[in-house]
Amino acid sequence: NAAQDIIQSSEYWTTAVGWHTDNGGAPTLIKWIEDGKPTDILNQLKNLPEYIEYKNDKYNILLCHSGSKKDWLWDRSHFYKNEELPEGLIIIYGHTPVNYMTAMANLPYANGKIYWHNNHQKLNIDLETANSNKAALINLDTLKPIYFTEKGIDK
């Protein structure tokens, strides 16, 4: 199919695009291209940064996928041993649902909430929304979570 050929062309293919398509994103990209949307979206995916920096009054915050400075996208080894991080740095990430992460690393159960670990320098916000129907947003200035369900804000 022409859309699949575009996605797999060497002009667009990168590890990031590959992981996106391998993890369920292929139908979305194919539909996007078949609907005549610009294929520049593939270049945008290809050029996304591995992390984004944010500073509030107190902390330097890194937002990334895996939570590990060893590999910002896929590493999970940091669950088992604290990574040494500079004072004042906080890493906020997802990638692995909190309940799965805590079970893997034999950490206290999170009870469907965001999870601070690594000496309170890492925050996992992955609540496995597809199965739990619950999501969390973090106010980056206060570091306070706001929880949502399909009914709205969860107080």
pTM for this structure? 0.80
- CA dist list (Å): 70 to 13, 50, 108, 155: 24, 12, 24, 36
3 — phi, psi (to 5°)? Answer: -65, -45
How would you classify the pairing of strands 115-117 and 122-124?
antiparallel
Which long-range contacts link 130-138 to residues 24+ away (Cβ below 8 Å)? Answer: 138/92, 138/114
For residues 143 and 1, the model is more confident at 143
| Average pLDDT over every residue of 95-115 | 91
pLDDT of amino acid 15: 66
Q: What is the pLDDT of residues 63-82, one digit of tens each?
A: 999 999 998 988 999 999 99
pLDDT of amino acid 5: 73
Cα separation, 3 vs 9, in Å, equals: 10
- How sure is the predictor about 16, in pLDDT bands with cuts at 50, 70 and 90? low
Tokens 């902390």 found at: 59
- How sure is the predictor about 88, in pLDDT bands with cuts at 50, 70 and 90? very high
